[in-house]
Amino acid sequence: MNPICLCLTAHEPHRLRPYNYFDVGRRHDYWDAESMRRRLATAERLVYEPATAKLAGLLDQHPAFAFSLAISGPLLDQLAAFAPKLLAAFRSLVETGRAELLCATSHHCLSWAVSASQVEKQLRLQRERLRRALGREPTIFGGEGPRETQAFAAIAEAVGLTGMLLESGPTLPDDLSRRHVYSASSRSHFPTMVTTPGLPEDIARDGDILCLAVDLSTEGLRRRRNRVTLSHLEEWLRTALSRGIEFLTPSEAFSRLPPTRALPAKAARSPIANELQQDALDRLAALESRIMAAGALPMVEDFRRLTGSDHFGEMTLRATESTAQESEPETFDSPYEAYMSFRHVLSDLDRRLSLSGLQPALSAGSAPA
């Protein structure tokens, strides 16, 4: 049977509140802290608390069990602010030495990255934040999807990471093609595994290794295409362990299984921008150099939160799907409303920069529409 590399991801976004034309220049509180607190409390009760307890029990009962854990930067912020006991539960898992931390960007920006330099800064920041919060500095990337795999691999290697896990894109459509350790390109030996979403029943197949990704967020565990629940996850793991299947952390897998082939150039899952998303990304990117030059920590933090990919996801139509019964309604009624709130926040940031003494780079484009 294939050894299994199990990657559990956990993410809750920074939520932008509705921000209108009349807020520009008057209010700088862009983030809906109360909504984030309520949503995290629901996710903690329904998912994270029982999940950490079940995983701790499995680690106690099965000394050979191991997995990797990708906790996003936005969730890490919210755990520190609203759920310190849950943060301690995650730290206890990591301290066993059999729950390997994965590193993503500090503000979950990779799907809609404004620049390579921002990606590099956020990777370095997240490694340090995870070390301080959870007691381990990660060496493997996972939990997000870059647009350009080869270019990203060079950045990841430059910041000291030694391998990466990727969601598959259209060039790796079949299950067997994911069951190998790849090098990032024909010129780079940076080891890479491509994850399979969900928990397949048929795991005794050809290939080197099976890398599985399960989203531990409330929505992720109820996503219809994966049909994963906590009970299903626990039952599947117990069955796999009873069959003697070997579980490896990514670091163990990469040390044992060297790359056997080069990853296709478009292996990662890449979003296609609509007009709202592209315009928002361009306007955000135009502020980066001035924000970083100003060096004002509140503005830098607001900018980095705005780089989060979830904001761009709000700017597209998505099929509605039932999640937890206690979940809150979406913040914005339409993609255009999400886009305009984002635009108005950028206008306010531009005004704050002007007041700090830096000349505005966005003239007409920075004004609220």
Given this model, what pLDDT does residue 170 score?
Answer: 55
Q: Are strands 181-183 and 191-197 parallel, antiparallel or unpaired?
A: antiparallel
Rounded average pLDDT over 326-339: 81
Domain ranges of the chain: 4-262, 275-366
* Contact criterion met (CB below 8 Å) for 328 and 15: no
Strands (E), 249-355: 261-262
The mean pLDDT value of the chain amounts to 88
Q: Which residue has the tokens 């030694």?
A: 162
Given this model, what pLDDT does residue 264 score?
Answer: 78
- Token pair in block for residue 308: 């989060």
Given this model, what pLDDT does residue 182 score?
Answer: 92
Which one has a higher pLDDT value, 356 or 173? 356
- Token pair in block for residue 125: 């920041």
* Contact criterion met (CB below 8 Å) for 315 and 335: yes
At 358, the pLDDT band (50, 70, 90 cuts) reads: low
For the residues of 270-307, what is the DSSP string, one character each? -PPP-HHHHHHHHHHHHHHHHHHHH--HHHHHHHHHHT
Given this model, what pLDDT does residue 90 score?
Answer: 98
Rounded CA gap, 67 and 251, in Å?
Answer: 10
Residue 196 has pLDDT above 90, yes or no: no
Given this model, what pLDDT does residue 320 score?
Answer: 45
Given this model, what pLDDT does residue 318 score?
Answer: 67
Rounded CA gap, 174 and 180, in Å?
Answer: 12
Domain 4-262, what fold? Answer: 7-stranded beta/alpha barrel (3.20.110)
Given this model, what pLDDT does residue 171 score?
Answer: 58
Residues of the chain with pLDDT > 90, as a percent, come to 66
| pTM more than 0.85 | yes
* Contact criterion met (CB below 8 Å) for 197 and 216: no
Given this model, what pLDDT does residue 59 score?
Answer: 95
For 276-303, the pLDDT digits (tens) are 999 999 999 999 999 999 888 999 999 9
